[in-house]
Structure 1
Amino acid sequence: MNMIDAGAAEDAVLWQAVQQDDRTAFRTLFDRYGGSLFHTANYTLRDKEASETIVHDIFLNLWTGRHTLDIRHFRQYILTAARYHVYKALKSRKALNLLHGTAGDMEPISPLTVNGGEAKVAEQSMRDSLRQQLNALPKRCREIFLMSREQHLSNQEIAERLNISKRSVENQITYALQHLRVHLKHYSLIALLWWGI
């Protein structure tokens, strides 16, 4: 790199050099973040090969898109990319594991933090799947579940409104939750946060 100490250079300076086809700068960024991205992905996926592929794909996309990518905060960008790739891997194999932590100084990965259009697509997909599975529930079961989750009524309040026992309400909610858990495995974290599933 011309006039730049790669080891001490800030990410923004290194990325600008990468955009000028500087392979040394690119290698520095890879050395700086590749290991952490791998450990973060592997912490969630427990799959070394898949985690290595994710890191490879992220940096391959960076290199091939170096002339067109507008990256203002490099670390944030690759963290988001890692989150998205891990989310896709979890979704594709319909993993049941929730994302619980972080490796090193990296932030925990969460499907909810995928940025921009990707987040909107993922959110809409989740909403569509959730609505489809809610519609598959028996009418009374769906009604009780929505009163609980959307209107935030207690089981006792639902029982009084529908003139049924509190136990019946609890049974219907339990049935709905079991149904959704089975059919929304790949959205488990989102469902958990939004619906208490």
Structure 2
Amino acid sequence: MFNSTLSDAELWAAIRHNDEAAFTALFDRYWVRLYKTAQVYIKDHEVSEEIVHDVFLNIWNRRDVLEIESFPAFLLTATRYQVYNRMRSAKSPVILAPEGLDISEPQDSNAGESHIMIQEFQQELDQYLVQLPRRCQEIFYLSRVRQLSNQEIAGRLGISKRTVENQITVALKHLRVCLKHVSSAILMMYLLK
């Protein structure tokens, strides 16, 4: 059990040295807050839990490359990206503001340019995905595009949940290497799905 008085920065330093107890302490510190954030938007207990677990899984898997200065800000942003992607994939209206605050139109003044950049990025992403083994591509697609949980993918494909997690990790590592030149903000948006 980790000392609860350690700062986020101290826990992060330990996590970067593969300390699972420090990771568990950080998880315990922020899990409820992130779950409540996801729940405000999603209104589904299981999906909200999956979102929080995905955020922490991505942090653990990317601990050697992430530079995190403020955990509350980083985790909130990562959770909102997960929520946005879940809602987008479900073709639901995207409202990333607490209830009562109306945001009906995006505030992006260069929406056309952003749309083109995202389309170009998607094409490049697709080129790198076809380099992966077929099964790995299929698992990545079910996870990131169809938004199935790891358990659902395992059941559908008749494989273990651990195999699903491993294949997603392989795909993400491959994409991080191939997409080094992409802006970290855009990359985070896609890889933290």
Give TM-score, length-normalised by structure 2: 0.50
For the pair shown, the structure with the greater C-alpha radius of gyration is 1
